[in-house]
Amino acid sequence: MAKDWLELRQHADTGIETIRAHFEGHAYDPHWHDSYLVGMTLTGTQQFQCRRERHRSTPGDAFLLEPGEIHDGDAPVMGGFTYLTFYLDERWLGQTLRGLYESVPDSYSLHFSHTIAREPQLVRAIAGTFTALHNDEMRIVQQSNMDALLSQLTYHCQWRKRLPAQRQSAAIAHRAREYLHAHMGDNLGLDDLARETGTDRFTLTRCFKREFHLTPHAWLIQLRLAHARAMLAQGEQPASVAAALGFADQSHLGRWFVRVYRLTPAHYRRLCTNLPDDARK
């Protein structure tokens, strides 16, 4: 833990977070993001579970994760690993890349073809974009690098037709997820979700795990953490964020935040806003 380090910056114009970090041993617990994650391994070996597979990313490898994809992270060999990454808003990336194709129906959604990509041109585009954003270079440099990255990503994307919500299991899971979104700060029980979806607790949990690979409770924690990041980045105090999102108290939020992001909420807030701990909006 003492040798671990993390640099995080939030780009002023776009809000894109850029992260460069080094971890040895266990890096972070299973979690998901509400954005597309694009990055590359700089040194060492990064190991993580995603899409029901164990992946290893070594220097020069790009890694591409979609919103909602559960992944963890650890260093399987001595010396740990160093990587850089940034998050791209789901709606923005889908709309932008859609414009690079001749015709993509609205009923199709954007997916990455592979989790690990060993393509030098893509890796160079990721490195260039990261450097331009992280170092806040001239806007024309930032935008040129971003356009080059988007062009490279088209070779690693595919459009899939969204599955119709006719399957009963998927329909139950998605209704439960929508309810969790709408009531994320409430003290919900499985009975509440079962009643909302017209089923029993056991069927609900089985359907939810089949669709999202997490129990409703574990998924709700991840949802709250994703919203906590957004609120902290806007300058909200950790205590008020914890209260708004249904955490028992600030310590409860802090324990989960560190497990998943390896930062305290207060530290993350400072990195995004440069506000001191006692500043309030």
59 CB burial (10 A radius; 0-12, 13-18, 19+):
middle
The reported pLDDT for the residue numbered 281 is 40
- Which sequence spans correspond to the domains of the chain? 5-161, 168-273
What letter would DSSP give residue 185?
A: T
> In one letter, which amino acid is 69?
E
116 CB burial (10 A radius; 0-12, 13-18, 19+):
middle
Residues 6+ apart with CB under 8 A from 109: 94, 159, 160, 162
Residue 82 has, within 13 A of its CA and on its CB side, a CA count of 8
**Hey, what are 244's tokens?**
């708004």
Dist. CA 262–CA 257, nearest whole Å: 7
Dist. CA 136–CA 252, nearest whole Å: 34
DSSP labels, 160-192: EEPPPTTSHHHHHHHHHHHHHHHTTTS---HHH
Q: Which CATH number fits domain 5-161: 1.10.150.110, 1.10.3720.10, 2.60.40.10, 2.60.120.10?
A: 2.60.120.10
The reported pLDDT for the residue numbered 272 is 84
**Hey, what are 137's tokens?**
């270079």
CATH 3.40.50.300 fits 168-273, yes or no: no
pLDDT digits (tens), the chain, 281 positions: 558 898 988 887 778 889 999 999 988 888 888 889 999 999 999 999 998 899 999 999 999 999 888 899 999 999 999 999 999 988 888 777 776 666 666 666 788 999 999 999 999 999 999 999 999 899 899 999 999 999 899 889 887 765 554 467 888 888 999 999 999 999 999 999 999 999 889 889 988 988 888 899 999 999 999 999 989 988 999 999 999 999 989 999 999 999 888 889 999 998 888 766 654 44
CB 239 within 8 A of CB 266: no
The reported pLDDT for the residue numbered 13 is 77
The reported pLDDT for the residue numbered 276 is 65
